[in-house]
């Protein structure tokens, strides 16, 4: 599924990027099945080992949970591809497998798919913020906000909240409730996922005990949520990202400049399903994860994008506000300096 066609400028139909992505937008059943095998089999084995490790040492269980989290992240990527209709050629197969992987990742498939489609259609649009994105204020909006709103925003952007507590709360609790703006199918998706989660928890608890289930499931949710939110965050929240008001917003520019090329080591690229090629993914969500690398390598237009590395991406932790004048993300210190200068200016003029 892709909502991009309704939002792309008409001129984009002649854009070079359309030709660049055209040959990669179909699923390969054999590769999809192989990804399922090489991810689900190890994940199931690790679950069995974690159950047995509880009798040895919980530290061993947590160590195994770290490894299992890598496979759970890949499962979420399959879920993500299903939401875009790119993991299988069949829409029904995408939906069925998306629902199954949604239960495994504690995410209601249809509700998430809708919000994520909105994200793709509005990423980088200053006038269409608020659905499927990270709460981002401009410098002027922040300075014009009440003291309480500023404190709330700073609290939301505090790393412990953004990357640790927030992600766990989102996947474990917040996604258990429908959004007020959700349609009937999205609401049913939330309720059906909750029922499925209860059923799975009850079945596993009968086999290994409820306490054992929690001791394994909670670390898996927490670790995978942290990693997933970091990947999503850093792929749009970097210094020279793209934000523009709606009348000047452009779909292709938003994808190429507002979604990062997160160049990860080969193992982490495998774990994250090549989602680091985010600029290509935003141009064409119909490209399966296993074709993103080849699309990048075979088209010079994508290799012109400056990569973001794990080291350079850490700078994003200090960037919280969009400066419309400089057209970069800045930190709170910069906004504070602007406010101080604005307060000093009238006093200087008065003294003259």
Domain membership flag for residue 285:
yes
Closest CA to 171 of 219, 131, 121, 119: 219
346, pLDDT greater than 80 = no
How high is the pLDDT of residue 2? 39
Domain membership flag for residue 352:
no
How high is the pLDDT of residue 11? 42
159, pLDDT greater than 80 = yes
Query: Can you tell me the distance from the alpha carbon of 64 to that of 57, in angstroms, rounded to the nearest whole number?
Result: 11
pLDDT tier, 352 (very low <50, low <70, confident <90, very high otherwise): low
Average of per-residue pLDDT across 23-30: 95
Domain membership flag for residue 337:
no
Domain membership flag for residue 227:
yes
How high is the pLDDT of residue 6? 39
How far does Cα 315 stand from its chain's mean position? Answer: 18
H or E element that contains 323? strand 321-323
How high is the pLDDT of residue 343? 61
Given the DSSP bridges, would you call strands 328-330 and 321-323 parallel, antiparallel or unpaired?
Answer: antiparallel
B/e letters for 149-165, b = 16+ CB within 10 Å, e = fewer, are: ebeebeeebeeeebbee
- Residue pLDDT, tens place only, 220-250: 999 999 999 999 999 999 999 999 999 999 9
pLDDT tier, 16 (very low <50, low <70, confident <90, very high otherwise): confident
Q: What Cα–Cα distance (Å) separates residue 225 from each residue in 76, 169, 170, 222, 229? A: 10, 9, 8, 5, 6
Domain extent, residue 276, equals: 4-318
Domain membership flag for residue 350:
no
**Total domains in the fold of the chain:** 1
**216: Cβ–Cβ under 8 A, 6 or more apart, which residues?**
47, 50, 51, 54, 61, 65
Domain membership flag for residue 331:
no
Please tell me whether residue 59 adopts helix, strand or coil conformation: helix
Domain membership flag for residue 124:
yes
pLDDT tier, 339 (very low <50, low <70, confident <90, very high otherwise): confident
Contact yes or no for 177/190 (Cβ under 8 A): yes
How high is the pLDDT of residue 340? 74
**26: Cβ–Cβ under 8 A, 6 or more apart, which residues?**
89
Closest CA to 164 of 317, 272, 310: 317
H or E element that contains 224? helix 210-234
With a pLDDT cut of 90, the percent of the chain lying above it is 85
SS (H, E, C) 85-135: CCCCCCHHHHHHHHHHHHHHCCCCHHHHHHHHHHHHHHCCECCCCCCCCCC
Q: Which residue has the tokens 């269980």?
A: 61
Please tell me whether residue 28 adopts helix, strand or coil conformation: coil
B/e letters for 132-141, b = 16+ CB within 10 Å, e = fewer, are: bbeebbbbee
Lowest model confidence (mean pLDDT) among 182-191, 262-271, 329-338: 329-338
Residue 221 DSSP label: H
Average pLDDT, the chain: 91
Domain membership flag for residue 332:
no
């Amino acid at each position: 599924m892709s909502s991009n066609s309704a939002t792309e400028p008409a001129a984009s139909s002649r854009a070079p990027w359309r030709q660049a992505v055209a040959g990669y937008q179909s699923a390969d059943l054999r590769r999809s099945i192989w990804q399922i095998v090489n991810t689900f089999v190890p994940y199931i084995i690790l679950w069995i080992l974690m159950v047995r490790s509880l009798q040895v040492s919980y530290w061993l269980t947590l160590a195994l949970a770290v490894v299992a989290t890598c496979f759970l992240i890949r499962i979420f990527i399959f879920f993500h591809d299903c939401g875009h209709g790119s993991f299988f050629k069949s829409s029904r197969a995408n939906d069925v497998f998306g629902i199954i992987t949604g239960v495994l990742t504690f995410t209601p498939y249809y509700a998430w798919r809708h919000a994520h489609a909105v994200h793709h259609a509005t990423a980088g649009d200053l006038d269409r913020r608020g659905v499927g994105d990270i709460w981002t204020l401009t410098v002027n909006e922040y300075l014009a906000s009440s003291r309480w709103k500023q404190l709330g925003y700073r609290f939301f952007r505090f790393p412990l909240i953004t990357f640790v507590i927030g992600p766990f709360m989102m996947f474990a609790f917040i996604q258990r409730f429908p959004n007020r703006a959700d349609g009937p199918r999205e609401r049913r998706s939330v309720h059906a996922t909750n029922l499925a989660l209860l059923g799975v928890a009850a079945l596993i608890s009968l086999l290994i005990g409820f306490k054992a289930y929690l001791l394994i499931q909670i670390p898996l949710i927490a670790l995978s949520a942290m990693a997933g939110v970091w990947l999503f965050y850093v792929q749009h929240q970097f210094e020279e990202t793209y934000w523009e008001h709606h009348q000047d917003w452009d779909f292709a520019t938003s994808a190429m400049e507002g979604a990062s090329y997160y160049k990860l080591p080969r193992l982490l690229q495998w774990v994250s399903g090549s989602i680091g090629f985010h600029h290509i993914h935003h141009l064409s969500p119909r490209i399966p994860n296993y074709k993103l690398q080849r699309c990048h390598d075979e088209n010079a237009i994508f290799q012109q994008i400056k990569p973001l590395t794990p080291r350079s991406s850490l700078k994003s932790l200090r960037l919280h506000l969009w400066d419309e004048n400089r057209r970069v993300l800045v930190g709170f210190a910069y906004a504070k300096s602007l406010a101080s200068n604005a307060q000093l200016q009238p006093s200087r003029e008065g003294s003259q």
